[in-house]
Structure 1
């Protein structure tokens, strides 16, 4: 999940910067360098967000399974 978010955010960052630079009439070389830099920044942000999302989902599923297992054991406990 983290890599997917990183790729999406990097592509989004690069696209936004390229469009903004081309609309402003900037030089192609500076637009590419700026877009590459912001793609890296957005990629790191996307990776961090993806990692947080993955950990949140994993923890939620783990807690739900633990509750269900505890309820099952309580229900099927021998008196």
Structure 2
């Protein structure tokens, strides 16, 4: 389903072959902060909530990095802005 959407969106031929062997590396680099070994958790819910928090903070960081405002980045400030709106 996802591949069909990509083929349709970019008007590719169905037999188009991607030759970039580094494309997967770029995708995997985005998740390297999650793959780092963490301490052992006593329950799955604790681990799930921790990973959600890590992903949220990195999403906020990436949003600011795109707008070139990485200096002075504060997760607490970003969350307070989100809660205020």
Instruction: Report the TM-score, using the length of structure 1 for normalisation.
Output: 0.39
TM-score computed with the length of structure 2 as normaliser: 0.37
Greater C-alpha Rg? 1
Q: Work out which structure has the larger RCO, using CA pairs closer than 8 Å and 6 or more positions apart in sequence.
A: 1
Decide which structure has greater helix share.
1
